[in-house]
A and B are shown apart, each in its own frame.
Chain A
Amino acid sequence: MPPTPPTDEELNTLIRARLALVGIDLGTLPVSDPAAPVDQTRLLSSVRGFLRGTPPVVSAWAIAPDPRLAQQVAPPELYPSITATRTAGAPR
């Protein structure tokens, strides 16, 4: 049975903890100020949306149906065009 999706408050706790762990002070923003470019309320909302929309999709993507075989496919590649070109003539 899949876990219960986190609530807004649970995600806010995660967000605050993560920021604190890397030394980022959320308090440098006003708590709630519609005139400010960004405030804490809107930033938390934005990051909650990101957390709900991006990690689950990326994490759930299956490279191959059998994960034991998926491990053997497509090592991570920062610059695929460069590597593909440099290795185009490599002996096999």
Chain B
Amino acid sequence: MSGPVDVSLDRRAFLTRMAALGAAAAGGGMLAASPAAAAPRLPSNGWRDDLLRRLSRPEAYAPSVRQEALDDPTECTIAEAAELIRRGQLSPTTLLEAYLDRIARFDSTYQAFNTVLADAARAAAAAASARRPTCALDGIALAVKDNYFTAGVRTTANSFIFEDFVPPTDATTVARLTSAGAIVIGKTQMGPLATTRATTPLGVVTTVNAWTPGNRATNPGGSSTGSATATAGRLATTSIGTQTGGSITAPSNAQNLTGLKPTMGRASLNGIIPLSYTRDHPGPLARDAKDAALVLTAMAGPDPADFRTLDLPPLPDLLVAATPLSGRRPGVRWPTRVGVIPDFTAGTSPTALARRALLDTLSAIPGITLVDVPLPAEWSLLTGAAFNNVRLPERTEPFLEFLRQDLKLFGVSLTGWVQGLFLSGDEFLRGQRAKQVLLERVLFDLFSTCDVVVQTSPVPFDIVGLPEIAFPIGFDPAGVPIGTILGGLPYAEDRLLAVAAAYQAVTDWHLRRPPDPVVAAARSAALEDAAGGTPLVLTAEEVAELSE
């Protein structure tokens, strides 16, 4: 007779968390940085060796480096910079100094950064320059959205609540990236508490779109605004952000970047200030599909501190996925049916025209087939405003103590946090049942005849935690980028990367960079709104409407 099936849980992680929270309580809420507390508890089963192996594959490096990148290292993609570093033609110090120079010259206009970590970054770059590179990310300058914990470095979420908060540990995803040699160059501006485009907590617009630095009215996308502007404006090689209702895909589309929002659980949320527990997703805003694959490869993986990441399909080789087939059999890596939803190309707007061109280009890629797909039943209802609002109690709950202290702490973002108090428990539960119904219809109806599907909004797949990739597909007559979003099946980031990479192999939108801002003229213009004369400010009503 066999014995009882007793489940053995991991006690060490529990004890570590309780000790950290107890220390915070004893210290009056201030978490002092200490070396012992600096590192999150990452798996101890050789994950770093595996990570470095993945990031050292031939596919991690550019097969050739563009002349623009040879002439100016800030033009490099990660893969190009890694190749030059590997060849000994570029040092991490030279690369970093080039970015710091651009930050000194242009960030007063771009306003991409909250905090620039010049000294620490220089020290890290010097160390990286003195050693043989460990992998493709070693020595690469990384901009980090200011809702990711960074040990010993102010992490504000662009809010009054966190304005003096210095976390004692790195977020797990930051620790993974820096363990692969990425150098954090700074913390980026964001929508306050991850709501809208970047503004001050009182709603004054700050970060501009790198493509129109003289016009603050051009939406740079949010809430990962500074991350997008830093990458697009060549103030860093790449950046990371978070998405709850479009905050990676929207700024990526607005600024000609490739943004990848992975499936829920693919990357740890440990050490990231929450907006919605069930909808927050960390991910890269990068220059192309290969760079997005490199960054997500580093970020992704099981984390004992975040159960959402455990017991999931192993991470596939995203670098191979992001390498299109070439030579005798060019095309997408795996035969892929791209679903086209109704009205995707409707109208005569520049976006509609760009979408038509996108579909024409995709259909000409060997291995890609376009398929018209209907939207599932009750799509507008289950992805509309009311069911989207079911997320609001998730932002209220972790911030109750601050709501009790002083409502003014939330600045112009307050209304969403208060609205979350007014959904009853039964309504919240019905919303969670609706998510299950929506996912079933997406998986079994929407994906019954396609492998990926074009999207006109990131919200539906954010609600159910499915992956999305955003990539550039053109420009409007004013020179503002136009992008699209593709959604995929659970944990199918490889499929999404493969399609984006195949598209980028036959187009060059992603290679274009905005001109440098004309600093004096841009600065004075940036201070004026469309009417001229006063700063651009979002009202509380606008924030509530636009909020993630």
**Residues in chain A within 8 A of chain B (CB atoms):** 15, 18-19, 22-26, 28-29, 37-38, 42-43, 46-47, 50-51, 53-55, 57-59, 61, 63, 73-82, 84-86
Contacts and interface: CB of A to CB of B under 8 A. Distances in A.
A17 to B, nearest CB: 11
Given A46-B541, A58-B390, A58-B427, A84 B419 contact: no
Given A37-B203, A42-B415, A55-B423, 18 more contacts: A15-B422, A22-B404, A42-B540, A43-B540, A46-B544, A50-B419, A51-B422, A55-B424, A57-B386, A61-B387, A74-B434, A77-B435, A80-B438, A82-B264, A82-B308, A84-B439, A84-B443, A86-B312
Contact of A81 (B408, B414, B466): B466
B433 A85 contact: no
Given A81-B264, A84-B490, A50 B465 contact: no
17 contacts: A19-B418, A28-B406, A43-B407, A47-B415, A50-B419, A59-B430, A63-B434, A74-B437, A76-B433, A78-B432, A79-B465, A80-B435, A81-B263, A81-B265, A84-B439, A84-B443, A85-B491
B414 A47 contact: no
B431 interface: yes
A47 B436 contact: no
A61 B423 contact: no
Contacts of A53: 385-386, 389
A23 B404 contact: yes
Contacts of B490: 81, 84-85
Contacts of A50: 389, 419, 422
Nearest to B202: A37
Contacts of A47: 415, 418-419, 422
B47 interface: no
3 residue pairs, one from A and one from B, having the closest CB atoms: A76-B432, A57-B386, A81-B465
B278 A78 contact: yes
Interface string B272-305: 0000011000000000000000000000000000
Contact of B437 (A15, A51, A55, A63): A63
Nearest to A18: B421
Which of A15, A25, A50, A76 gathers most chain B CB within 10 Å? A50
B514 interface: no
Contacts of A81: 263-265, 439, 464-466, 490
A77 B265 contact: no
B280 to A, nearest CB: 11
Given A46-B541, A55-B423, A76-B429, A82 B312 contact: yes
Nearest to A86: B311
Contact of B412 (A15, A38, A79): A38
Contact of A24 (B203, B403, B433, B434): B403
Contacts of A46: 415, 418-419, 540-541, 544
A5 B443 CA distance: 38
Contacts of B421: 18-19, 22, 24
A25 B402 CA distance: 11
B308 A37 contact: no
Nearest to A59: B427
Contacts of B404: 22-25
B152 interface: no
B518 interface: no
Contacts of A57: 381, 386-387
A12 B77 CA distance: 54
Nearest to B389: A54
B433 A74 contact: yes
A5 to B, nearest CB: 16
Nearest to A39: B540
B24 interface: no
Given A28-B407, A46-B544, A61 B430 contact: yes
B313 interface: yes
B400 interface: yes
Contacts of A42: 415, 540-541
A25 B405 CA distance: 8
B411 interface: yes
A13 B294 CA distance: 54
